[in-house]
């Protein structure tokens, strides 16, 4: 039993390392070559677990070989566009100027149901609202609405807006996130000042977010209502 556990831990760490090496993608976003490598790695990893007579290295060696091969292929694809087209394919336009290209849909074996499902996934239930749609190499569908059907932006409505990055978590379960603070240009003193201002001690904070302007949101570990604070102290910047 202990041998199986040790084998499981070794292969688990190796597979996690392999997936991390290929990048952070969801299963539906994998390129064809990445999907093949993922399937092969998962199948090879099960062999030493199912049969204890098979040495662990019999599973480790091909997994490492496949990952090395994938890294090499990814490098070549990055520097050779024609090879990228052969291995990963190219995006296909299925709707242009509001017109559906049935020939391309037939080549991709893309049914009407597939198209409507993709549209509904983008909150579009009327195909007449679509100006342009393209099937990416991952199989996902990118869609652009017709201008008159699209949601207006602040720029369209002449509403001024400040360009700021979204808030980041600076306190998680009572622990200060120094990396997030540093990226915002703050230090720990900023959190302490906000804690004092809000009357909530840092260990009692469940989640605290902040943006570069010093606007904060505090959710406490207790059942009390969240606290919003606008504008932190500028002298707390590094």
Say whether pLDDT at 204 is over 90.
yes
Q: Write down the H helix ranges in the chain.
A: 2-21, 32-50, 56-79, 81-88, 102-107, 112-121, 178-184, 188-198
Say whether pLDDT at 125 is over 90.
yes
Nearest to 94 by CA among 120, 132, 128, 121: 132
Say whether pLDDT at 28 is over 70.
no
Nearest to 184 by CA among 149, 222, 145, 212: 212
Q: How far apart are CA 45 and CA 92, in angstroms?
A: 35
Residue with tokens 């943006």: 211
Q: How far apart are CA 216 and CA 106, in angstroms?
A: 52
The pLDDT of residue 23: 61
59 contacts 41 by C-beta, under 8 angstroms:
no
Mean per-residue pLDDT for 210-222?
A: 92
Report strand pairing: 141-145 vs 130-135: antiparallel
In this prediction the pTM is 0.60
Report residue 24's pLDDT band, with 50, 70 and 90 as the boundaries.
low
Q: How far apart are CA 9 and CA 26, in angstroms?
A: 23
Q: How far apart are CA 131 and CA 181, in angstroms?
A: 42
Residue with tokens 């087209």: 85
The pLDDT of residue 237: 43
Residues with Cβ within 8 Å of 227's Cβ and at least 6 positions away in sequence, in order, are 198, 200, 216, 217, 218, 220
Of the ranges 33-37, 124-128, 158-162, which one carries the lowest mean pLDDT score? 33-37
Residues with Cβ within 8 Å of 105's Cβ and at least 6 positions away in sequence, in order, are 94, 111, 115
């Amino acid at each position: 039993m202990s041998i199986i556990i040790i084998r499981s831990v070794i292969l688990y760490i190796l597979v996690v390392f392999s997936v991390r090496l290929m990048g952070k993608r969801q299963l539906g976003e994998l390129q064809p070559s990445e999907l093949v490598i993922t399937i092969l790695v998962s199948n090879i990893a099960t062999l030493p677990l199912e049969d204890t007579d098979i040495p662990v290295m019999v599973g480790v060696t091909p997994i490492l070989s496949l990952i090395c091969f994938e890294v090499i292929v990814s490098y070549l694809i990055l520097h050779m566009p024609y090879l990228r087209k052969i291995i990963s394919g190219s995006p296909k336009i299925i709707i242009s100027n509001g017109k559906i290209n049935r020939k391309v849909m037939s080549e991709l074996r893309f049914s009407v149901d597939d198209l409507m499902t993709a549209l509904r996934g983008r909150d579009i239930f009327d195909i007449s609202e679509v100006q342009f749609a393209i099937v990416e190499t991952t199989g996902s569908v990118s869609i652009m609405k017709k201008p008159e059907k699209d949601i207006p932006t602040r720029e369209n409505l002449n509403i001024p807006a400040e360009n700021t990055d979204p808030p980041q978590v600076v306190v998680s379960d009572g622990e200060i996130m120094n990396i997030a603070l540093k990226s915002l240009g703050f230090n720990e003193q900023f959190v302490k000042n906000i804690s004092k201002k809000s009357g909530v001690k840092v260990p009692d904070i469940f989640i605290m977010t902040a943006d570069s302007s010093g606007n904060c949101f505090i959710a406490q570990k207790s059942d009390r209502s969240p606290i919003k604070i606008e504008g932190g102290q500028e002298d707390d910047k590094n």
